[in-house]
Amino acid sequence: MSLTVNIGDAKARLSELVARAEAGEEVIIARDNSPVARLSRLARDNDVRAAIDEIRAARTGLAPTGADEILQWRDEGRRF
């Protein structure tokens, strides 16, 4: 979900908007009702949830991955 606010409101509510972005909400900042910037959470190196969400988004619309394919990926490049 995203929230759009004008620059003046964003200046007055910056702490609140940063907290919302940190919680995962996207905040769009607009000038004269035209979007000009986006405030969103930065992924952390150890943020497993963000990594899982990113993978799910990238796989949207693709066929499900089967166990055989996963094992093939695992074994790719291995020498037995």
CB 4 within 8 A of CB 35: yes
Domain boundaries, the chain: 2-61
What pTM, to 2 d.p., does this model score? 0.55
Quick: pLDDT tens for 23-48: 888 999 999 999 999 998 887 777 78
Report the C-alpha gap between 39 and 67 in whole angstroms: 38
Q: Which of 3, 10, 2, 5 is nearest to 33 (CA)?
A: 5
CB 4 within 8 A of CB 31: no
CATH number for the domain formed by residue range(s) 2-61: 3.40.1620.10
pLDDT exceeds cutoff 80 at 1: no
